[in-house]
Amino acid sequence: MTDTTNLYLLIFPERRVVKIGKADDIHNRIQTLRRWWGEADYGASYHLSATQDVIFKLEKSLHFLLSQYAVPFSEGDGRSELFSVAALEIALKHIDLYCSSASEVSQVKKGIPIPLPISSPPRRRNKNTVLLRKARAMAQGVTQIAEQFLRIDRLLIVLFRKQARIAYQYDIVGHYVYFRLRMPDVMRSNIDSDSIMSYFSFDIEDFSGRCGINSCSVTGVGDVVQFRIRLPSAEDISPWRELLSYFSCQSELLLKKIPQRSSAATSPIPLLDESKVWNNILSHYEESER
């Protein structure tokens, strides 16, 4: 019987990173990693079981595809396998694409079961203390979200003021904003995509639980960089939809005050097909492995 192992995508909220690696026992691996990166978010993390050779190929291909999202650390266990949380959505797309064509591999699963304590359970914490901590976390989360949307609004104002110098174009299609920038390679090196994407990555905690939401992805082809931003919709059933919808609506009103295409964009900037771009990258990688 072929040996199996696990691919894991562990979220570490304190460092705002996702670690992608493999382990026979994920729980034991988490205990080692927590010394460096803090507590893992069991509910927001993902895992996949398959044969060792499949997991090895998946792990290496993900590290290759997500290299632009790598987060450097000078020391720490597994530091070469850490990526910004913005890379999670792209990693899941890649895994889903592989699983759809490999019948012997099951789908990636969200959430890692929390192991039962071996020793006697800890003393029950005071209920009032727990509620107070959650109330503070909720208030801090709302403040942080407000600050993030303030940064988004400031960015929009800069685009409004610099429209004669920055070549951009945006379109609102369904529940998505497709914002494109046209710039030569020398200018692209000055764009911190991870920093911009972090504006649209939200950590929310309230009395019903905790959630991490990433609303932005980035794609680049030639001299075009595209940011795809998801807008809250009535189809969302999360309890945090109304909070995000209010701030998002205000920023959308500000967005519509700037030209849909800047004067610096002398010709239309095309929409990029993300799935086509990633399929091309995957095909190129698979060919290079042959």
CA separation for the pair 167, 237 (Å, rounded): 37
Distances (CA, A) of 99 to 102, 278, 280: 5, 15, 17
Report pLDDT for 258.
Answer: 92
Q: Residue 95 has which token pair?
A: 């895994």
Query: In terms of residues, how long is the chain?
Result: 290
Tokens of 91: 């990693």
Average of pLDDT values for 97-106? Answer: 76
Q: How far apart are CA 131 and CA 31, in angstroms?
A: 27
Confidence of residue 244 (pLDDT cuts 50, 70, 90): confident
Q: Encoding tokens for residue 219?
A: 């794609």
User: What single letter denotes the amino acid at residue 118?
Assistant: I
**pLDDT score of 214 more than 50:** yes
Tokens of 126: 């005071």
Evaluate whether 241 touches 70 at the Cβ level (below 8 Å). no
Q: Per the structure block, which two tokens stand in for 271?
A: 């929409």
Mean pLDDT of 167-191: 82
Q: Rounded CA gap, 157 and 171, in Å?
A: 17
Q: What is the pLDDT of residue 178?
A: 94
pLDDT score at 281: 61
Segment 214-230 mean pLDDT:
86
- Mean pLDDT is lowest, of 203-207, 209-213, 227-231, 257-261, for 209-213
Across the range 267-280, mean pLDDT stands at 81
Q: What angle do CA 82, 86, 90 make, to 5 degrees?
A: 95
H or E element in which residue 217 lies: strand 216-221
Please indicate whether residue 42 or residue 241 has the higher confidence score (pLDDT).
Answer: 42
Of the candidate ranges 6-10, 44-48, 219-223, 285-289, the one whose mean pLDDT is the lowest: 285-289
CA 113, distance to chain mean position in Å, is 22
For a pLDDT cut of 90, what percent of the chain falls above it?
A: 30
Question: Phi/psi of residue 101, each to 5°?
Answer: -110, 5
In this structure, which amino acid lies at residue 48?
Answer: L
- Please give the mean pLDDT across all residues of the chain: 83
How many whole angstroms separate alpha carbon 176 and alpha carbon 180? Answer: 13
Dig out the tokens for 27 from the structure.
């729980």
- Which residue has better confidence, 193 or 271? 271
Question: What is the per-residue pLDDT for 237?
Answer: 61
**Binning pLDDT at 50, 70 and 90, where does residue 234 land?**
low
pLDDT beyond 70 at 189? no
Task: Decide if pLDDT at 125 tops 90.
Answer: no
pLDDT of amino acid 1: 42
Residue whose C-alpha is closest to residue 86's, from 240, 221, 181, 195:
195
Structure tokens at 87: 């890379």
What is the mean pLDDT of the segment spanning 28-53? Answer: 89
Q: Is the pLDDT of residue 71 over 60?
A: yes
Tell me how far apart the alpha carbons of residues 84 and 66 are, in angstroms, rounded to a whole number: 9
Residue 46 has pLDDT above 70, yes or no: yes
Angle at 215 between CA 36 and CA 143, to 5 degrees: 70
The predicted model gives 133-158 an average pLDDT of 89
